[in-house]
Amino acid sequence: MEQLELLRRQCEGCQRCPLGESRTNLVFGDGNPKAEIMLIGEGPGEQEDLTGIPFVGPAGKLLDQMLEIIDLDREKYYIANIVKCRPPRNRDPQAAEQDACIGYLREQTRLIQPKIIVCLGRIAAMRLIRNDYRITREHGQWVKKGNIWMTAIYHPSALLRDESKRPETFDDLLSIRDKIREVCG
Ligand code: URA
């Protein structure tokens, strides 16, 4: 069996943290596992928990529309979250929950071997780029970690709450488009 599918099955039985008990479905990941771009959010919301697919609720719909601007769809990227089970009432995933889950994301990343990772929001950026990452100041900037170019943009839920952040995110999307042209095949 394909390695990513084996990992998914391993995650399906996971009870490493209490979110394993309250989930309806595991939200493992979606998109093209051969893609050179990975997008990482924080954790599933209600619609994701019900369907088992990341970013299908209101934030996901906005994300799809934003990515369409730079001609990206789920055939061209792979999308997952820092935690694979829904935190109750959509609260931020706690450090212990992130710690319990992050090994799965690391293994997913090792199997997919992306050239670019885009963190969606503060939680993913703090976990994957730097633990004191400041999204308001640093969104759209690029850092290279090993062979992977990394950046962060505002979480689409933040853009739903505060439309004034959208022009900055538009600039960040153009920068992502340029980086894809620069480093992807
Ligand atoms: N927000 C996230 O961070 N991830 C999802 O999958 C959905 C909403």
pTM of the model: 0.98
Ligand 1 mutation target, pool 30, 62, 81, 101, most atoms within 8 A of CB: 81
Listed residue (155, 164, 16, 163) closest to 90, CA to CA = 155
Q: How far is the CA of 54 from the centre of ligand 1 (A)?
A: 6
d(CA 61, CA 156): 9
d(CA 65, CA 73): 9
Domain boundaries, the chain: 2-183
Stretches where the chain sits below pLDDT 70 are 1
Q: How far is the CA of 97 from the centre of ligand 1 (A)?
A: 15
Tell me the CATH architecture of domain 2-183: 3-Layer(aba) Sandwich (3.40)
Q: Residue 82 CA: which ligand 1 atom is closest? A: 3
- pLDDT at site 1: 67
Burial class (CB in 10 A: 0-12, 13-18, 19+), 177: middle
- pLDDT at site 185: 80
Residues 6+ apart with CB under 8 A from 138: 125, 152
Ligand 1 mutation target, pool 55, 101, 120, most atoms within 8 A of CB: 55
pLDDT in tens, 86-113: 999 999 999 999 999 999 999 999 999 9
Q: Residue 120 CA: which ligand 1 atom is closest? A: 3
